[in-house]
Amino acid sequence: MTYLYIKALHIIFVVTWFAGLFYIVRIFIYHIEANEREEPARSVLIQEYVRNARRLWLGITWPSAILTLIFGLWLLYLIPEYLSQGFMQLKLVLVLLLYVYQLLCHRIYRQLQNHSIRFTSQQLRIWNEVATLFLFGIVFLIVLKSAMNMVIGLAGFVILAIILFVAIRLYKNVRLKNEKE
């Protein structure tokens, strides 16, 4: 019974962690685009995005990432035989890479908190989809749990990445067209 409670908590914090990862990059995009606005809108918007990013990042995203890790490790402690299974080993690699993504997002967060902008909104739109790819990969691995399904899933993963990239490019073209009108 303890296992099910720990698993439920793990899933809840995975959901809130991903929500934070998805939304923080959107705030980064809005922050960068606010720099193109005229005063006083620019200052007001940037101040608001800095405040909202800090609340989201430090109040939701980081705590959720830490609690996800704690409950995930607890699950592995309760059922250590999962560590010898290929699907779990690959999932853990993806999770490790997701924490690297989180740390890279933290670097961007700190830059924007200091009003140091090194990315375009288009670059961050692409960056935002990296979390989507991790989500798909991790969920399919944990649900399907087989090597053949992992190969099929990897092919789907690549197709999803291509679709996301094309969608971002199409959105950019639509946005630029609407700005000209």
Q: Give the domain extent around 93.
A: 2-180
Full-model pTM: 0.82
Per-residue pLDDT tens for 82-105? 899 888 888 999 999 999 999 999
pLDDT band, very low/low/confident/very high, at 28 (cuts 50, 70, 90): very high
Annotated binding site: 10, 91
Annotated binding site for heme: 10, 91
Q: Is the pLDDT of residue 68 over 70?
A: yes
Per-residue pLDDT tens for 143-167? 888 655 666 777 777 787 788 778 8
Percent of the chain with pLDDT over 90: 56
Q: Is the peptide bond before 63 cis (omega within 30 degrees of 0)?
A: no
**The pLDDT of residue 171:** 79
**The pLDDT of residue 26:** 95
Count how many domains the chain has: 1
